[in-house]
Amino acid sequence: MQEYVIETHEAYPHKMVFSVFGADRIARFNVQVGQEVMVSFDIDAHEYQGRWFNSIRAYDVRLVDPAQFGVPAAAPQATQAAPAGFPPQQAASAAPAGFPPAQDAPAEDSSDDLPF
Residue 20: inside a domain, yes or no? yes
Residue 70: inside a domain, yes or no? yes
Tell me: the pLDDT tens digits for 36-67?
888 888 999 999 999 999 999 888 888 887 77
Q: Would you give the distance in Å from CA 57 to the centre of its chain?
A: 14
Do 81 and 27 touch, CB atoms closer than 8 A? Answer: no
Range of the domain at 35: 2-91
Q: Would you give the distance in Å from CA 47 to the centre of its chain?
A: 25
Number of domains the chain is built from: 1
Residue 80: inside a domain, yes or no? yes
Predicted TM-score (pTM) of the model is: 0.50
What is the pLDDT, as a whole number, of residue 50? Answer: 93
41: phi then psi, degrees, rounded to nearest 5? -145, 160
